[in-house]
Structure 1
Amino acid sequence: MFTLREFYEADSIKDAYDILTKSKRNMVLGGNMFLKMSNKKLGVGIDLSNLHLNKININDRIISIGTSVTLSQLEENSFLQSYSGGVIKKMIETISSKQLRNMATVGASVYANYGFSDIVPVFLALNARVHLYNGGWMNLSDFINRRKTSGNRDILIEVEIPIEESFAYYTGVRATAGDFCILNLTLSRIKDEFKVVVGARPMKAIIAERTSEYITEHYDILTFDELVKNAGEILVNEVEFGTNMRASKEYRTYLSKGLLQKALKEVLNENIAYD
């Protein structure tokens, strides 16, 4: 169990940021689901509960998700239950238990960018951006690849997803229902551009750029079997897999082709009218 020297309820984002940057031992608190399994000794634990960042705002262009929104809020939002084939709701339903989803927050999941994350790959596939207090707006893909240092610590305010004509499919493999993924894969089709994102490699999620480009250029030319075979070979040569306590590098490499085949079947069979 982690310990705090002090618990602090921030009354503004600036207030929270000032406290955060005073010491590298200070930390913004989210749902604490992963943190509570650690033995970290922290300085000030900064609580954002009073800042009204637990809202999901939707207009005709964007979905804005506050950093304190819980996974259950995402799961239960009526618009997200159908947007892009309901991929966000379907992904969240696979994450552990309802009790955990009631506590885990979007901001903590995205900012920490854990390798086992299910959320980050789906958000990447949907072209998400993040809004940081000090760093401003940036693409999620740039944020997760940014080297974190004590000098660029920041506070995530919101995640923004553009509303586009899209369909996405998430799939993953777990040893048991409540466990972390051994491997997950998300495939999105936005207009006629495809994006493949692989997570739980076990390293952080990555966009398979060459695989995505190949599918985009050949999905309506090749037979399904040819597309699956060729794209699968590109995927395993492009994406680096690793070994940990859940699976070997070789097993993850083998799984990735099967997950891609499953995702392609779902996305290509979805009847969407494209302009």
Structure 2
Amino acid sequence: MASIEKVVRPCSLEEAYVLNQERSRVVLGGFMWMKMGNRNIAEAIDLSGLGLDTIEESGEEFRIGSMCSLRSLELHEGIDKEFGGFVRDALHHIVGVQFRNGATVGGSVYGRFGFSDVLTCLMALDTYAELYKGGIVPLKEFAQMKPDTDILVRVIIKKDGRKASYQSQRNTRTDFPVIAAAVAVKGDTVYVAVGARPSKAGLVESTDSGLGQGSTNEEISKFSDWARDQFTYGSDMRAGGDYRKHLASVYIRRGLTELLGGEKA
């Protein structure tokens, strides 16, 4: 288990940023995944006093503070209504309620974990990471950036009208996902995010998918196979790469069938 020698609580984001420039210091987040390692942390930076645990909603977007718990995100009525239960469907599998009360959105996103339901889910939406020094970056780009010493302030989700569906496979109910697939549709554009491959989630989008309401199972299946092949798959203790690749196609197809109609995949 990880150990912490000292916890510091900065009074501003600028102070937090300055503190985080030292290699011996680390931003604490919810300390849910970090504590499972064997790391000795000289100083942990606690952002809980900076008012970053709220969700603000406007007519154009949701602004989610990095210290907001996964449980608060899961239960937010505005997000649930806007995306038809999509975010709730993605989060309620994560360990248990007690864990989700402690885990933070910022920790889940900044960690860029391969197993992250949170990253896979948010990537299928029009989502951005707001960094203290780096500004606002599309989540797809942020996921590919190497971890640095900037501070993740909040996550921003735009209300752009897309509809989305989340699918995942687990060996046991509270385990990490074997594969996770989030699909979203906006007009003629289809977005597909696949995570737990077992590498971190990636996103592909197609503006000429040829799919729409009432698409046939054959059309959906053909696109699902194409989307599946845009990603690479590997093996670990939970599943083999070939199995993950097969599941990705199945769950992309199920998500698209849910959104576009057709027989159940």
Q: Structure 1 length as normaliser, TM-score?
A: 0.91
Aligned in 2, Cα 1:234/1:175: closer, same or farther, shift over 3 Å? same
Aligned length: 262
The residue number in structure 1 matching 2:195 is 199
Aligned in 2, Cα 1:81/1:262: closer, same or farther, shift over 3 Å? same
Aligned in 2, Cα 1:222/1:101: closer, same or farther, shift over 3 Å? closer
Instruction: Show the 5 A alignment for 1:42-57.
Output: 42-57=41-56
CA drift at 1:217: 2.9
The residue number in structure 2 matching 1:163 is 159
In 2, Cα distance between equivalents of 1:240 and 1:56? 34
In 2, Cα distance between equivalents of 1:36 and 1:59? 35
Aligned in 2, Cα 1:85/1:24: closer, same or farther, shift over 3 Å? same
Encode CA deviations 1:27-60: one digit per residue, 9 max, x unaligned.
Answer: 0011111111100011210001110100100010
Q: Do residues 77 (structure 1) and 76 (structure 2) align?
A: yes
CA drift at 1:249: 0.2
The residue number in structure 1 matching 2:12 is 12
CA RMSD across the alignment: 1.7
Encode CA deviations 1:107-142: one digit per residue, 9 max, x unaligned.
Answer: 000001100000111111111011101111111111
Instruction: Show the 5 A alignment for 1:69-218.
Output: 69-148=68-147, 152-209=148-205, 212-213=206-207, 216-218=208-210
Aligned in 2, Cα 1:208/1:97: closer, same or farther, shift over 3 Å? same
Q: Gaps spanning 5+ residues in structure 2: where?
A: none
- Once superposed, which parts of structure 1, at least 4 consecutive aligned residues long, lie more than 3 Å away? 220-223
2:13–2:132 Cα contact (<8 Å) kept? yes
In 1, Cα distance between equivalents of 2:152 and 2:19? 15
2:188–2:210 Cα contact (<8 Å) kept? no
CA drift at 1:91: 1.2
CA drift at 1:222: 9.2
SS in 1 for 2:233: coil
Q: Percent identity?
A: 31
In 2, Cα distance between equivalents of 1:71 and 1:232? 29
The code of the aligned residue for 1:101 comes to R
In 1, Cα distance between equivalents of 2:223 and 2:58? 36
SS in 2 for 1:116: coil
In 2, Cα distance between equivalents of 1:136 and 1:103? 26
In 2, Cα distance between equivalents of 1:120 and 1:63? 16
SS in 2 for 1:195: strand
Aligned in 2, Cα 1:220/1:267: closer, same or farther, shift over 3 Å? closer
The residue number in structure 1 matching 2:226 is 234
Instruction: Show the 5 A alignment for 1:196-275.
Output: 196-209=192-205, 212-213=206-207, 216-220=208-212, 223-269=215-261
In 2, Cα distance between equivalents of 1:190 and 1:232? 16
